[in-house]
Amino acid sequence: MVRPQKIRIIEKKPTATYFKPRTVPLNELDEVVLAVEEMEALRLADIEGATQEDAAKRMDIHQSTFQRMLKRARRKVADALFNGKAIRIYGGAYTMPRGDETGPAGMGAGTGRGLGRGQGGGAGRMEGPLAGGPGGKCKCPECGYEMEHGRGVPCNQTKCPKCGAMMTRA
């Protein structure tokens, strides 16, 4: 039986969640998905200059877990930059201590929300309106076309029937 993933503490959400090469149409791009906690690891290590030990404490994880997460995040970003892929910052198992999209560690885990998750008993697991579960809609970022979300098929793996761009969760 697989052990459940530990919920990570995120202090700040990124202000932008999608990046793409300027000259390539969205429907022609491959996409790299960077989990919100991977982005937080990059922010703590590369922007704030925190040591791995300090950053791991702030995220309430082990230093070795932080190291693996940071390595995975850097590899994804390098792949996207070098190979001309889009970067989507989305998902993960995290919580924000204050619930107002900010919050230092020590304010009490489980009281915040991360991208629509965190309400109910899941404490940050894939729940809420942006989770890949049943119901909801997929929307085309290029032409605005909307369609019902197909169960078991992520929106970002569905092409728009009108323009061929990859859909996103509405």
Mean pLDDT, rounded, for 113-117: 38
1: in domain: no
pLDDT above 90 as % of the chain: 42
State the pLDDT at residue 120.
33
Better pLDDT: 45 or 143: 45
Looking at the predicted structure, is the pLDDT value of residue 127 above 50?
no
Q: Tell me: do 125 and 63 sit in the same domain.
A: yes
162, pLDDT greater than 50: yes
For 123-166, give the DSSP string: TTSS-STTSSSSS-EEE-TTT--EEEPPTTS-GGGSB-TTT-PB
Quote the pLDDT of residue 141: 80
Q: Residue 158 sits in which domain range?
A: 132-170
What Cα–Cα distance (Å) separates residue 137 from each residue in 57, 71, 146? 38, 34, 6
pLDDT of residue 100: 57
Instruction: Provide φ and ψ at 59, rounded to 5°.
Output: -90, -5
- 31 and 102 belong to one structural domain: yes
Whether 85 is covered by a domain: the verdict is: yes
Tally of domains within the chain: 2
pTM over 0.85? The answer is no
Higher pLDDT, 133 or 170: 170
User: pLDDT band at 133, cuts 50/70/90?
Assistant: very low
CA dist 43 and 70 (Å) reads 10
Confidence of residue 102 (pLDDT cuts 50, 70, 90): low
